[in-house]
Amino acid sequence: MSPFVLDGCDLSMPAPGRLLPPRTFFSPAVFDAEMTRIFARSWVHVADLDELRNGGDFVAAAIGASPVVVLRGHDGVVRGFLNACPHRGATLADGRGNCGRQLRCPYHAWSFATDGRLVGASSRDEFACDFSTVALQPIRVACCGPMVFGCLDSDAPSFEEWIGELPEALARHGGDRLERAFEYAYEVDVNWKVYVENGLEGYHVAVVHDVLNDFVETKDARHHFEEHGSYTHASIKPEYRAMIPELPHLSAEERGRVRFGLVFPNLIPVLGPVEFSYLRIDPLGPERIRLVARSFDFGGDQALLRDFRRDAIDRTNRQDIGVVTRVQRGLHAHGFAGGMHSAFLESRIGHFERMVSRAHTGERISLARPGSFTRAQLVAECAGTLAMRATT
């Protein structure tokens, strides 16, 4: 197959163990293409259900470069729409709050019911249109645990296909009972893919992190590769495992591990025995993101650990920000030919970049791999691939 090149970047599937070209991570042309080829065709996290408790509650969000608004109607249904007035395109909502019974455009006062219907527009006789057909443009919406996802593309796979095993994992852990514990937001000068990739590997944990390194063991982890994501089961170290209460709805194995996931393209959900957190990496530009970190637990006695988790998550995020910004600067080094990834500890980066490449090239290939993979399996697989390449 011939290379697929955009702005000097070969976006074809990288060779085993290799990464996409450095320019892929700062090219404005590649970034613009990703807004269309990846984000506009994916299921993307946009809000949480605790922000949408009552009729009229809304969250203004973005799917890539597209502004959207998610709100709960007075019929109890959660819906999503493009955050663009059909008159002239002005955004209708900012932030989050409650709009009452109507979303009202701040430009010309057109107003819309919470189900998207136009209910108010002045000087109608001046418009050559059928106002009965004017409404907010809907988007697809689905929920998983405490989270709400949106999708702009009517032809994208179903949410059930996209989300993979995460709903089952959340259900086993009682995800319908989770409540918001705390949140952080950061703006970081880094490409969105660089930050996602940092969240997919355990190679840096012993070097960069203190609390996280004390908490989990990465070398005995098991990786799972899905069509639109991946996840890792890592063991909780014994000194922390002793702090976890008996949970009759979880097996002994589930009480002793953490699930580090990816929902392509930009959500990193982390599920432990008594808490759930996520990182959402919102792309703001070729080298700028907004990082949203939220954590949930079951309240009650579990809330006693919130101060520890709050400090640990913020500390861990800031440690990651320190190293990913170094990566972003280094990718600009003139003559740098491109990076590589390890066979096991960074294997999910390779899987992620294959998803990125598939989205750019339009290749109709499956990337899912049934089962789980240990270090020995992936190292042996890599060695076999290299040996095969050396003889061809």
Strand order in the sheet with 257-263: 179-188, 288-297, 275-285, 267-271, 257-263, 229-236, 216-226, 369-373
Sketch the domain layout of the chain as residue ranges: 5-38+165-379, 43-151
- Distances in Å between the Cα of 90 and the Cα atoms of 84, 214, 220, 365, 382 are 5, 49, 52, 39, 51
- Residues 43-151: name the CATH superfamily: Rieske [2Fe-2S] iron-sulphur domain (2.102.10.10)
Identify the helix (H) or strand (E) that includes residue 163: helix 159-163
Fold adopted by 5-38+165-379:
Naphthalene 1,2-dioxygenase Alpha Subunit; Chain A, domain 1 (3.90.380)
Q: Would you give per-residue pLDDT tens digits along the chain (392 residues)? A: 578 999 999 999 999 999 999 999 999 999 999 999 999 999 999 999 999 999 999 999 999 999 999 999 999 999 999 999 999 999 999 999 999 999 999 999 999 999 999 999 999 999 999 999 999 999 999 999 999 999 999 999 999 999 999 999 999 988 888 999 999 999 999 999 999 999 999 999 999 999 898 889 988 899 999 999 999 999 999 888 777 777 778 888 888 899 999 999 999 999 999 899 999 999 999 999 999 999 999 887 666 678 888 999 999 999 999 999 999 999 999 999 999 999 999 999 999 999 999 999 999 999 999 999 999 999 999 888 766 565 55
Which of 308, 316, 291 is CA-nearest to residue 208? Answer: 316
Cα atoms in the 13 Å half-sphere on the side-chain side of 97: 9
- Residues 165 and 78: their CA atoms lie apart, in Å, by 23
- Distances in Å between the Cα of 89 and the Cα atoms of 67, 117, 125, 141 are 11, 16, 20, 21
At 134, give phi and psi (nearest 5°): -85, 130
DSSP 340: B
CB atoms within 10 A of CB 347: 25
Residue pair 321/61 in contact (Cβ under 8 Å)? The answer is no
